Amino acid sequence: MKLKKFEGNPILSPNPNNAWENLVVCNPGAWYEDGKFYMLYRAAGDDEEHKIHIGLAESTDGFHFERPLDTPVLSPSVDGPDSGCVEDPRVVKFGDAYYMTYAYRAFAPGQYWKYSYDAVVAPEMDDFHPSVLKENTANTALAVSKDLKNWRRVGRITAPELDDRDVILFPEQVNGKYVMLHRPKEWIGDEFGCETASMWIRYSEDMMVWNEPSKLLLKGEEWWEQKVGGNTPPIRTEEGWLMLYHGVDEDKCYRVGACLLDLEDPSKILYRTKDFIMEPEEAWEKEGLYKWGVVFPTGNVLVDDTLYIYYGGSDQYCGVATCNIHELVAFVKENTKQESLQD
C-alpha cells in the first residue's frame, strides 16, 4: 500500500516576498478543528546563517492553504538557548491549549545542505574559551498556545547533553501519564541495544519533567531503515496507536513506515510494516536542498475516515498525502514483521 499523494503538490512553496521564508517551507505540524486545517511549518530564508522559523498556514479543505500572517508565529529568541533556530513542530492539544514540541539550536545551523550529511555550523570561538562551546547541538523544547498564533516558550524537555530530536507527544495521557517518543542520536552501541539512531519511549506525570527511564521502542531492521525516528503524533484506533516513522537508507534517502502500538502499553509494538508506505518520487521531493530525496511527515489529522498526512519534501516544500485510516491499519497488520508480534 502506498499513501495517495495530492496531485496538486507541493501545497506550500517558499514565498519570495518574505525574507524569512523565501528559501524553505517544510516539515509541517498539523491540526484540524472546527472545519479548518492548520499547518505550522518550518521556514527559512536564503541568509548565510540560515536562521529557521515557524510559520502558519490555514485551509478549509486540507489541500489549498493560505498564509494569514506575514510574520512567523515563532522565531529564534534574541539571546536564549533557541536563538539559532526553531524547527520541525509537532502539535497536540490538552484541554483548551495546544502543545508544540520543536527542535532548536543555540546558533543558526548555516547552509547545512552544502556540508556533509547531518552536519551544521558550530559557533565561532572568538568570544569564548575553546572548551566552552564545541558543538551546535540540537535539542527539543515545548511551547504552549491558546490560538496557534501566539506561543509561549516553556523550556527544554530533553537532556541537555544529547542531540535529541524527533520528539513527539501522544495526544492523550495513557494510564494517567504523558507519553513521549524521542530519538537521542548518541544512544547507540551495545549498552543501548541499537547500532544506529533509534526511537525511544518514556513516560511522565509532568510534561516538563521527564525523569522516568526511557525504553528502546523501534530500531532499524529493513534495508530502508539504516536510521529511524518518529514522524507524527500517534492516532488512537481500535487496533492500537497508529504512528508513522521514517527510515533512512545507506544512500540517505528518507522513506515512511507505520506501526501500531498497544493502547494500554505503547512501549509494545503490535504490528510494524516491512515495506515503506511512502518514498520520494516527484522532482520536488528529490531536487530540493537535499538532492537524494526526502519525504518527512510531521503532522497528521483525521477527518471522518480520511487521514491527511502533511510532510516536507527534500527540506524545501510542503506536501500532503491521504488514505483511508481503516485500510492503512489493515495494511500494517497484514504487512507486519513477525518479530513485531508480542505476547
Q: How far apart are CA 235 and CA 302, in angstroms?
A: 8
Q: Long-range CB contacts (< 8 A, 24+ apart) of 255-258?
A: 255/224, 255/279, 255/280, 255/295, 256/3, 256/231, 256/295, 256/297, 256/311, 257/224, 257/225, 258/328, 258/331, 258/332
What pTM was computed for the model? Answer: 0.96
* pLDDT, position 122: 77
Judged on CB neighbours under 10 Å (0-12, 13-18, 19+), 17 is exposed
Q: Provide the CATH number for the domain around residue 183.
A: 2.115.10.20
pLDDT at 121: 85
pLDDT of residue 341: 45
Mean pLDDT of 326-333: 98
Check: CB of residue 257 under 8 Å from CB of residue 227: no
Average pLDDT of the residues of the chain = 94
Print the domain residue range for 22: 4-340
Structure confidence by residue, pLDDT tens digits, 107-160: 999 999 999 888 898 766 455 555 556 688 999 999 999 999 999 999 999 999
Q: Are 100 and 89 in contact (CB under 8 A)?
A: yes
pLDDT digits (tens, 9 = 90+) for 24-47: 999 999 999 999 999 999 999 999
pLDDT at 342: 47
55-91, pLDDT tens digit by residue?
A: 999 999 999 999 999 999 999 999 999 999 999 999 9
Query: How many domains is the chain partitioned into structurally?
Result: 1
Three cell numbers at 79? 539571546
